[in-house]
Structure formats: C-alpha cells, structure tokens
Amino acid sequence: MAAARHRAEISDHPAPTTPDPVPVERPRWTDPAASRPGQLAWQLVTVWLLGGFGPLALEGVTHGFELGGRAFTAATVVMLAVVSLSLMTALYVLVRATPVITPLGTTPRRRLLWTALVAAGGAVAWLTGRAIATAHELTVLHNGRLTVLLGGVLTVLVAAVLTHGWWLRIPAVAVLLVLAGTGLVVFRDSGPSELDRRLAHAGWTRDQTFVVNIPGYKPVHQTFGLAENGDDYIPTDPAATGGRIHLLSFEVTGGCRAPRCAHPDYLLLGDKPSVFAGDESRAAVHRSHSVLELTGTPGVDPELLRQALENARPARDDELLNATAPAPARDPVEALRLWLRDHT
C-alpha cells in the first residue's frame, strides 16, 4: 500500500524538465566574427582600401630614387621593403580575421597563399589598368583620389575571385578577363612600330630616305642611297647602252662616310640641284640634313640627273618596309609583343 501511494504521489508531481535554451539572437552583418555577410563586407572593404592606398604609397616612395646617391637609393629600397611587408602583413591579418569567406582561410599556409595571390594579382591588375588608361590618354590612375578609388576596385576583383560562392566569383573573373584582354591589346600596340624597328636596325632615319626615280632606269637595290656603296641604276631596256647611274646619300654634318662631305661645293649646295662639270656626269642637292648625289658614266645626260634630283621625294612607309629587313627581337618582352602583332 505504501509503495502504491508513493507511485501515485510521483505521478501527481512530474519530474522537472530542462528549460529550453534561450534563443540566440541572429548575428548582425556588421559583426565580422559571427556573420558571413559581415566578414565578406569587412574583407572586401579593407582590400579596397589597401589596394587603393598601397600603390599610391609605393609610388610615392619610389620618388626617392630621383634624389640620386647611394644613401638615398638604399633608403628608398628599405622603405619600399617596409611598405610592401606592411601591406602583406595587413592582408594576412585580414584573411585570418575573415576565414569563412575564402577556402584559403583555414590554415596558415593557405592564408599565406591568399595573401600572395591578392597582392600579386592586385599589382598586376593595377598596372594593367594604368597602362590602359595611359594608352587612352586618361589620368584616372594618376590622380590621388581616383587612384585610391579605382585602384582599390581592381584589387577587390582579385579578392572576389578567391571567395566562396559563384555569384561573386563569376562576375569578377569576367571583368578580369576583359581587363586582361584589353591590356594585351595595349601591350601589343605599344612600343616602336615595325617600321621604326626596321629603320633603327638599319641605322636609318625617316628624314634620310628619299626616292629618286630616273626615267629609263631602275635601281638594282633600293636602299635610297644609304647603303655602304649606295645604289646602282641600270637601264630598264636590256638592249640600251645608256650607261649606269649611281646614287649616294650622305650627311654633311657629322658621321659622314665619304671624304666628299667636306667638299666646298657640297657645303654650298642649295635647295635646287646643281650639276658639276667633270669626266663623269654628276649632280647633287640638299635634302633635309643630307646630300643626294647622282653620278653617271660618260654619256649620261647631266640634265637627266638634275631633273631626277629635282623630283626626289620622301619615301613612303610601304617603300621603307619593302627596302628593310625585319629586325630581330632584343628581349623576351619585345619577342612577345611581335608574336602578338603577328597572331592577333
């Protein structure tokens, strides 16, 4: 009876239950320690600031090289190293504080990789953007405030590629691909043109190159008289017996290859061709800083030489390209530029 009464009392007074836990308030997006949106916002905003001020600070330090001297050069190198290391440290601390945003935020080795990728990728993106702006004569990445704003955006794109979630990575990759493609086009079109490279390789300049057309004659080789031995002209009719004509172009001031440079007759030449008496038919004229000289074998009419020099004209680009050989690339960068010009 006592046992039954005890069970009845227990049933009338049920055992106390554990109270439900107090519901945790949903973390605010501004709390980077507890909210993924918060970590994302803080990471991208901080990367934006570092990517904007970093290049500006590094560019300012490089002005120390302009002071010259070993002491200033060494101090500038040290300052560049300090600023670079500070930026890298700030990036590492940032990814350590916001680890859930990127798959590279879980271990120290991965964080170092994230830091290196963001720093290197941001630098390449910034330099590419600046090259594109400079090629289009824009100063957006040469102005302090705009450099911070737009330079930071370029670095944010690199950090966005390394985040979780396709909705952020895909647009960032698309923008970076467009930036890279535009940068390659700018790189391809920069530097000296193919014609300028060929002229430099041949040792010629545009103001030295004149085309001399002689009726009834054709040049054996077209070097505009600038080759070591000039150009020879032969009759266009193989049966003709009109002799040969020789064209020579040389400077009258400095670097002259022939003793005739100091000839008083050439120093007094005017803009009109002059004919000189002698055993051979000879005429010469001033053109720019050079003298064009035509010499004919006996029997060549001196008036023909004078008229040919009167009608001499500057060489066109297509004529210069046909007369010059391709210039070899001087370094790998120029080789890449030439490859892009040939294949794009």
Burial of 136 from C-beta contacts in 10 A (0-12 / 13-18 / 19+): exposed
Quickly tell me which residue has 């911070």 as its tokens: 148
- pTM value? 0.68
Instruction: Kindly give, in sequence order, each residue whose CB lies less than 8 Å from that of residue 50, ignoring residues fewer than 6 positions away.
Output: 87, 90, 91, 94, 152, 155
CA 234 to mean position of chain CA atoms: 46
User: 230 and 246 in contact (C-beta within 8 Å)?
Assistant: yes
Instruction: Kindly give, in sequence order, each residue whose CB lies less than 8 Å from that of residue 119, ignoring residues fewer than 6 positions away.
Output: 87, 88, 91
What does each of the 344 residues of the chain score in pLDDT, given as a tens digit? 455 555 555 455 555 555 444 444 444 444 555 578 888 999 999 999 999 899 888 888 998 888 888 888 999 999 999 999 999 999 999 999 999 899 999 899 999 999 999 999 999 998 998 888 888 888 777 766 777 788 889 999 999 999 988 889 999 999 999 999 999 999 998 888 989 999 999 989 888 899 999 998 999 988 999 988 889 999 988 777 668 899 988 877 654 545 555 555 555 566 788 888 777 888 888 887 788 889 998 888 889 999 999 999 999 999 999 999 989 888 888 888 888 888 88
Which structure tokens are listed for 22? 């107090």
Which structure tokens are listed for 316? 């066109």
User: 280 and 305 in contact (C-beta within 8 Å)?
Assistant: no
Instruction: Kindly give, in sequence order, each residue whose CB lies less than 8 Å from that of residue 225, ignoring residues fewer than 6 positions away.
Output: 210, 212, 231, 247, 248, 249, 250, 292, 293
- Quote the DSSP letter at residue 21: P
